[in-house]
Chain A
Amino acid sequence: MTDPLAWLILLPLFWATGAFLLGPGRGARLAIAGVAVQLWLAFALAAKVGAGGTAPAGSAASMGTAIKHAIGGWGAPLGIDLAADGLTAVMLLLTQGVALPLLLFARGYFAGDSAAVRYFWPLTGFLLAGFNALFLAADLFNLYVTLELVGLAAVGMVAMSGTAAQIAAALRYLFATLIGSGMYLLGVALIYGAYGTVSIVTLTPLVNADAPTAVKIAGGLMLLGLMLKTALFPFHYWLPPAHGGAPAPVSALLSALVVKASFYLILRLWTGPFAPLADAVAWLPALLGSAAILWGSWQAIRAVRLKMLVAWSTVAQLGYLFLIFPLLGADGLALQAGGMQVVAHGLAKAAMFAAVGVLIHVTGRDAVADVAGAASRMPVTLFAFGLAGVTLMGLPPSGGFLAKWLLIEAALAQGQWWMVAVILSGGLLAAVYVFRVLRQAFLLVPNERRHRFAKSAPLLEWMAFALAAASVLVGLRGMEIVRLLGAVA
């Protein structure tokens, strides 16, 4: 196991197949062991990358000096290259770091629920393999394949428990993701037609401000397709039913990680090959992101169902990621803000879906109104929800706070006052929907109106708590993440 790059992809494929053959019981144990090893590999990789150069992440230089692996000894252009730089390392760490507690959570959550759980473990394996391959891919076409792998596995997971509503949500999600990746692939085709290569490293110096129209169209198509897959407003229509309808561990994986994969790709392309073309359209994602923050938060405030509330909150939080594009400058603040937001939101949203899963499991109903009185029964879960909420609101000392701080600083440095207003109102709106749930939970319910609470499992509660605590504590380790992102001069 000397090269973590290949094993990060192979390992989940192995245990996915194993879990399919062994069935849910032993398969779950295999999966958890596998993810634990992956987490260790990701740490090893991060250490290796962190010890290397400190070129700005995403730039040509950093891809050039990154850690590489040629699969089967066949390098580019004929073979497939894997490459890892700081951004990759952060994403890999986040993925395995979120997946491990979530799989432990899922093991408890699905206990005694055999129909749905049969496909959970293999699909998770394929999903993780897709993620890791996506983050490590070094050319546009491989990125397409891995993007599809992630998308198809995610659709399968949405459809897992097989009710009509979930199947419909899965189909809607499938069509959205297929259109998105179709647009992306068309873009790749145009790029290959223009330059005869799809390798990011080779492309980066070739594309310049007066590139042929075909390349500009390609960039537009790819951006549009990926925005659709990232559920940026107004392409968010598929997200709430898909994320709000799936079982809690699946929702957590989808909201925390899957939408981040396509965002990662946008960031990679934007700061890499398309950087010379990007400035002209940078305001578009920022405007849409602002709309997403306001609209998503508003819908979360109105939501009747708990899971819908959390799903709409994802729509809103994704908006923050798109604010960074007009601010990407030499100071690297915006990139750090984006990375920090990805990490903090990933952990917090996984925690929040897990906590909501426990609440629904225990109260037996998926409604904000029905958590009344839960504070005294499930303090740990409520704490988890609250801590995750702290991250989403961007209150200190969470990772979300650091992200917001960096973002505001970047916006101020460029005089974008409207953005500061959007960021802060987004935080206040988030407070409204988070405290909507919390104050309901603190409410005392007269005994005759109280419905029976089922018993909750400590493992579930504490896994949600661990994720939430991580989302807050990551704020105290900001230095490491920033250093990994390679932006420290």
Chain B
Amino acid sequence: MTTGLIFACAGAILFTMGVAGVMLLDHLLRRILAFNLMGSGVFLVLVGLAQRAGNPDPVPQAMVITGIVVAVAATALALALARRLFTLSGGYTLPETPDD
């Protein structure tokens, strides 16, 4: 097993955990953290799989940096929304879906 593959498998596991967290957890902050875990998992796969004969490939590195920027922006938005929800409802959990 090459290092790249180990990285990729670890990334896949992290990603799965992250997705499960975003979907299953209740607390908004935990869900936002889970999303970041998910993102890190993807980046790990990207960097891990893209090693060409031991030499680092610049393109996925650039992709990861862009991805991190996007993830930071998404996290910031999520945090702002969560804080706003807290001031309005006093809690960090989403209310049950109102049916209509």
Contacts and interface: CB of A to CB of B under 8 A. Distances in A.
Interface of A: 77-78, 141, 144-145, 148, 152, 155-156, 159, 162-165, 167-168, 170-172, 174-175, 178-179, 182-183, 185-186, 188-190, 192-194, 196, 237, 240-241, 302-305, 308
A152 B97 contact: no
Interface in B1-49: 8, 11-12, 15, 18-19, 22-23, 28, 31, 35, 38-39, 41-42, 45-46, 48-49
A164 B88 contact: yes
Interface residues of B, number: 43
Given A175-B31, A186-B15, A190-B45, A163 B78 contact: no
Given A165-B95, A168-B89, A302-B100, 12 more contacts: A78-B59, A141-B63, A159-B84, A164-B95, A168-B94, A171-B81, A178-B35, A179-B38, A182-B39, A186-B12, A189-B60, A196-B57
B74 A148 contact: yes
A188 B67 CA distance: 12
A315 to B, nearest CB: 13
Q: Which A-B residue pairs are the 6 nearest by beta carbons? A: A193-B49, A189-B46, A164-B88, A189-B45, A167-B85, A148-B70
Given A148-B74, A159-B81, A164-B85, A182 B49 contact: no
A163 B63 CA distance: 36
A186 B15 CA distance: 8
A193 B85 contact: no
B81 A170 contact: yes
B74 to A, nearest CB: 6
Contacts of A190: 45, 49
A189 B42 contact: yes
Given A163-B88, A171-B82, A186-B15, A192 B60 contact: yes
Contact of B85 (A171, A179, A182, A305): A171
Nearest to A191: B49
Nearest to B28: A171
Interface string B73-84: 110011001101
B81 A182 contact: no
7 contacts: A152-B73, A152-B74, A167-B81, A170-B81, A182-B42, A192-B50, A193-B49
